[in-house]
Amino acid sequence: MPSAPVSLPPLPLLHERVSGWYAEAGRTHLPWREPDCSAWGVFLSEVMSQQTPLSRVEPAWREWMRRWPTPADLAAAPPGDAVRAWGRLGYPRRALRLHEAATVMVQRHGGEVPSTPEELLALPGVGAYTAAAVSCFAFGIPEVVVDTNVRRVLARTLEGKAFPNPTLNRAEMVLAAESMPADRDTANTWNVAVMELGALVCVARGPRCDDCPVADLCAWNVAGRPAYDGPPRRGQAWHGTDRQVRGELLRRLREAHHAVPLSGLEDSADDRVQVMRCLDSLVADGLVEPLSRSRYRLPA
């Protein structure tokens, strides 16, 4: 028997509710959401917060902004300093890409963050999401900003599904574009508000539907919160993985502040073959520099 069609909530009411909730309950105190935050500060926050909780991002962001308040400041520093300052934010290649992006900003954009999505996409390490987010949040250009939180909110409220598809597809981008308010300022507010709703209330596990400002409009909630029946959703393993070993190798090099002999690294995991594979991959990624006499350091 075919399921009943999903009844879509009126978008203006959805916009009003979500934006009103954000004004009262959103994390507007975050430094990169302050009106006087520079475009560089917004750019930095967007790169740092990819797959990283904001509670871990904020102290690192403040330290980076203290040390390198402009792209030129970061570009003038050795790339190894960026890797060291990245700490345990995860996916450390982002630190190198930030350094490379800052260098391009100095070389091609007068030391400023470019404002158009096309120019942003041309920067090292910048994808569609980051380009759209920086355009919107730093320059007020209402691009379609779609992250994991936005996808989940739209899947539940408009499609009646517990989760979106495992990977972003064109249909989701169309849905996000069609869901945005037409007014420029309202659209920019909606972008950050719907993202925040997904981060704080419409979370992946244990959604707080009783606290949701659009619970009565949400197609998934109204339908009784049907279980997810899409493709399998696989969690990311950590212990014993190459990611864990790479992180341990980088930790030792960060804390050493000098070249480390191989003997100081090869016990980073029980399996020496895995350690050497991970060390080789870090060298290939430009995160580690090999020296003579089997020594290693962060890139100078």
97-114 burial, b if ≥16 CB within 10 A, otherwise e?
Answer: bbbbbbbbbbeeeeeebb
Q: What is the 3-state secondary structure (H, E, C) of 226-268?
A: CCCCCCCCCCCCCCCCHHHHHHHHHHHHHHHCCCEEHHHCCCC
Residue pair 196/22 in contact by the 8 Å Cβ criterion: yes
Out of 46, 58, 143, 196, the active site residue is: 46
| CA pair distance 58, 52, nearest whole angstrom | 10
118 among known catalytic residues: no
Beta strand segments in 86-195, E: none
| CA pair distance 209, 141, nearest whole angstrom | 31
Partners of 260 in the β-ladder:
296
Phi, psi of 12 (to 5 degrees): -60, -40
User: Where do we find the tokens 């517990």?
Assistant: 162
Measured in Å, how far apart are the chain's first and last C-alpha atoms?
Answer: 65
Catalytic residues: 46
